[in-house]
Structure 1
Amino acid sequence: MRVVTLGGGHGLHAMLTALQRLLPDRRLDITAVVTVADDGGSSGRLRREVDGILPPGDLRMALSALSAPDDRGRLWSRTFQHRFTGQGALAGHPVGNVVLIGLTEVLDDPVAALDAAGALLGARGRVLPMACQPLDIVAEVVGVDDDPAAVRTIRGQVAVATTVGQVQSVSLDPADATACPQALEAIAAADVITFGPGSWFTSVLPHVLLPDMRAALAASPAHRLVVLNLAAQMGETEGFSPEQHLEVLAAHAPDVQVDSVLADRSAVALPGRLRTAAERMGSRLDLRDIAVPGTARHDPDRLAAALADVFARLPGPAR
């Protein structure tokens, strides 16, 4: 089964970790397509220091999640995730971020750099950037000043994720950016495509904002699965209900069909409303216990079991 996962950050890491739990009992060909709009932390510092490079943080985390479950894979995963200490210029940078930048400069190709890093970690899957150029997120936000109806433009992933207002819509800059060709090929060949979990406006939605990627997602015969978050994110989706997440996705990509929606039972206050919202999109809703009890973190084993159930009911090659 060819599975393409769309997202970034901790949400994508959780999804990839869960998919790894399904191996080796189930044969999966996994491709992670990762957002490239991060401008905070180590990635933001590196973007400002090295012109034109892709922010490496989310790409590094995806590689780490796919690393081989042997001594060599675990060593390289730990090393990639390790942050330099001290007070110098490297302080706070994860080793993997620096390695990815170095590989990109040596190979002059971000996809080749990711493939080389994946080989180093023994990755059981492929990591690809959403686009081969760094992007910026631009959001239209209300409620950030004295006039609650005034619409303000906020630029940058960190600024959007931490805004005190409510995000109305997001776009990408440059608006004419194109998707990574290898990512489009993976989407066209996929049996299953997953959206989320993750920061909705800054990790999940960016994939449908690239015109050629949105067209590929709309045309794909794959089963499209949305995995909802366990809680609203402060600032970015504060106050959002689970069904509002679906409505926002539909508003930004009305031509992309969603076939299944997976949500944690305890995170859905009004399951009837969510089921109605899913059915309005032509989707089947699955409510499962997929969180670590008492937390807003996905349990890899529970999420893996829920994914296995979704996969098991798919027809033909996808099964």
Structure 2
Amino acid sequence: MKPKIVIIGGGSGLPVIIKPLVKQEVDLSAIVTVADDGGSSGLLRNYINIVPPGDIRNILVAMADTDAEFLKVMQYRFDAKDDFFAKHAVGNLIIAAMTEMHGNIFDAVQYLANFMHVQGHIYPVSNEPLVLHAEFKNGNTVAGEAEITHAHQTIDHVWVTGDEPGEEPKAAPEVVEAILSADLIVYGPGSLFTSILPNVVVPEVREALQLTKAKQVYIANIMTQKGETDAYTDAQHLLALNAHIGMQAIDYVISNSEKVPDDFVDFQKWNEVSNQVKLDEQAVVVQGATQISGDFLQLRDAGAFHDGQKITEELLKILEQC
């Protein structure tokens, strides 16, 4: 039987490690956030009240074994001058249409996953769009992922609600089952407060993460993120993750120790102001985790990314110990 790996997150970070992982002899499941409310996803969410499709689209493409030209179409964005379609990704529109046809996002994604020959499983964390809330260190609160990011304040903690006031967020049953039956759970890489934690703080997911027998691994970000993790070390990322899970759940932290060359990252291109995440092994160990550090850096497109193949090799080594 193939070992079961569950990856939790969203955004553009997950595909970096998913692409090499799907080539391994593992049973891979991706749990994806549904709290995005910016860009094309946010517009579709507001227009037709569906789960935001952008993160799901990226994971579908990363895990698919289908025609490369079709995958390019899925990722294609209309030109900014195309009026209503401006900047919408074709894949987002397809997912929106399939959601209307099937009546919910979960069944729509399963159909598309089968159609695209996805190597593994893709589970939206909830069948309904969720609203992300944050309380900042100064006591102010904000609702909405985009608003949280744009506030550029130090976050204390986050939580999610349903779209309607007082609506309790519900996890898809398959999400809970995947976590409880996993051999290895991997968080990230990705934005800590707006991609990873929106999954973790769904009550049924948090409870499953506390109960699972799986080893749990956090892939520490290479760079800090303005308004989310300014000046955070890898241990501070870990502290926030454990706090939101409600216990010291993480067994391993994979941290990049290779220096990002000065002036390599084009912060204007990536609309970001950040610094390289510093390592603090002692503080990681205090939280009951083992730090795995090394050169996991890939420099491309004027940005600093994880080397997915090297990360995969480390995950497989951990799996051997499970």
TM-score (norm 1): 0.88
For 1:18, the equivalent position in structure 2 comes to 20
The residue identity in structure 1 corresponding to 2:156 is: Q
Separation of aligned partners in 1, 2:227 and 2:194 = 12
Query: Given the alignment, which residue of 144, 150, 153 partners 2:141?
Result: 153
Segments of structure 1 that go 5 or more residues without pairing to the other structure are 143-149
Residue matched to 2:291:
285
1:22-42, Cα deviation, whole Å (9 max, x unpaired): x2xx41111100000000000
SS of equivalent to 1:138: strand
**C-alpha displacement at 1:256, in angstroms?**
5.3
1:281 Cα shift? 2.4
CA contact (8 A) 1:162 1:234 kept: no
Instruction: Say whether 1:163 aligns with 2:143.
Output: no
- The answer to whether the aligner puts 1:58 opposite 2:55 as a matched pair is yes
Match of 1:36 in 2: 34
Q: Is this contact kept in 2: 1:247–1:277, CA < 8 A?
A: no
Any residues of structure 2 matched to 1:1-319 within 5 Å, and which? 1-20=3-22, 23=23, 26-51=24-49, 53-68=50-65, 72-85=66-79, 86-142=81-137, 150-174=138-162, 176-255=168-247, 257-266=249-258, 271=279, 274-293=280-299, 295-312=303-320, 314-315=321-322
Quick check: 98-107 or 252-261, which moved more?
252-261
**SS, match of residue 230 in structure 1:** coil
Contact 2:256 2:297 in 1 (8 A): yes
Q: Contact 2:224/2:277 (CA < 8 Å) preserved in 1?
A: no
CA distance in 1, matches of 2:150, 2:13: 17
Identity of aligned residues (%): 31
Amino acid at match of 2:304: A
CA distance in 1, matches of 2:278, 2:32: 31
Moved more, 3-12 or 296-305: 296-305
CA RMSD of aligned residues (A): 1.8
Whether the 8 Å contact between 1:135 and 1:172 is mirrored in structure 2 is yes
| CA apart distance, 1:44 | 0.5
Residues of 2 paired with 1:191 and 1:15: CA distance? 17
Cα-to-partner distance string for 1:108-127 (whole Å, 9 max, x where unaligned): 13221111111222111111
Is the contact between residue 246 and residue 277 of structure 1 (CA under 8 Å) also seen in structure 2? no
Whether the aligned pair in 1 keeps the contact of 2:222 and 2:277 (CA below 8 Å) is no
In structure 2, do the counterparts of structure 1 residues 199 and 122 end up closer, same or farther at CA, with 3 Å as the change threshold? same
How has the CA–CA distance of structure 1 residues 191 and 310 changed in structure 2, closer, same or farther, with 3 Å as cutoff?
Answer: same
8 Å contact from structure 2 (residues 109, 122) kept in 1: yes
Distance 1:11 1:269, change over 3 A: closer
Contact 2:171 2:202 in 1 (8 A): yes
